[in-house]
Amino acid sequence: MPESIAPTVVGIEGFPLYSDTIENTSFPEIATQYKEKIRAADGILVVTPEYNRSMPGSLKNVLDWTSRGKDLPWKGKSVGVIGASDGVRGASFAQYDVKRVLTYFGAHVMGQPEFYFAEADKKIDAEGTITDEKSQQVLSKYLAAFKAHVELISQKASIQ
């Protein structure tokens, strides 16, 4: 991560399955909290695995909950999407699906560069550190580009 970025890592545990009945009767506090976190962030980096050639259902569930209501925190937000898998595609299908959904929400999704972390199970040690030098270099370039993307979108927003 570039030194000037102070990431906050947020998991997605604890969301109920999306239901318009629940939405209309008792909107979950966790969804409200996540919407506030999205709004407060300068940029969001979504990191996804790939299950059955798509994003995990739990991630889609979080996207569904955080897109509901009149306050749309994803609209205009700078977003990057990366993924990892133990296969050779590096979560490419999952990333595509996440990007497609976030674009629909009105987020400014960074298109290039991309980072597909293939065979990640062979390139991460027990502490969670990437051990493959080429993957480290590509990820570093991606993160630098993401930082520039966030700054560009922030500049455009301040002009408007």
Region 103-126 average pLDDT: 97
Region 84-90 average pLDDT: 94
For position 94, what pLDDT does the model report?
Answer: 98
Residue 2's pLDDT band (boundaries 50, 70, 90)?
confident
Q: With 90 as the cut, is the pLDDT of residue 156 above it?
A: no
Structure tokens at 41: 């962030």
85: left (phi over 0), alpha (psi -120 to 50) or beta: beta
Query: Taking the model in full, what pTM does it have?
Result: 0.94
- CA nearest to 33, candidates 53, 10, 60, 51: 10
- CA nearest to 95, candidates 67, 134, 56, 136: 56
Q: Is 134 exposed, middle or buried (0-12, 13-18, 19+ CB in 10 A)?
A: exposed
Q: With 90 as the cut, is the pLDDT of residue 159 above it?
A: no
The percentage of the chain sitting over the pLDDT mark of 90, rounded to a whole number, equals 90
Q: CATH 3.40.50.360: does it fit domain 20-159?
A: yes
Region 86-100 average pLDDT: 96
pLDDT tens digit string along 19-60? 999 999 999 999 999 999 999 999 999 999 999 999 999 999
Per-residue exposure over 80-111, b if at least 16 CB sit within 10 Å of its own CB, e if not: bbbbbbeeeebbbbbbbbbbebbeebebbbbe
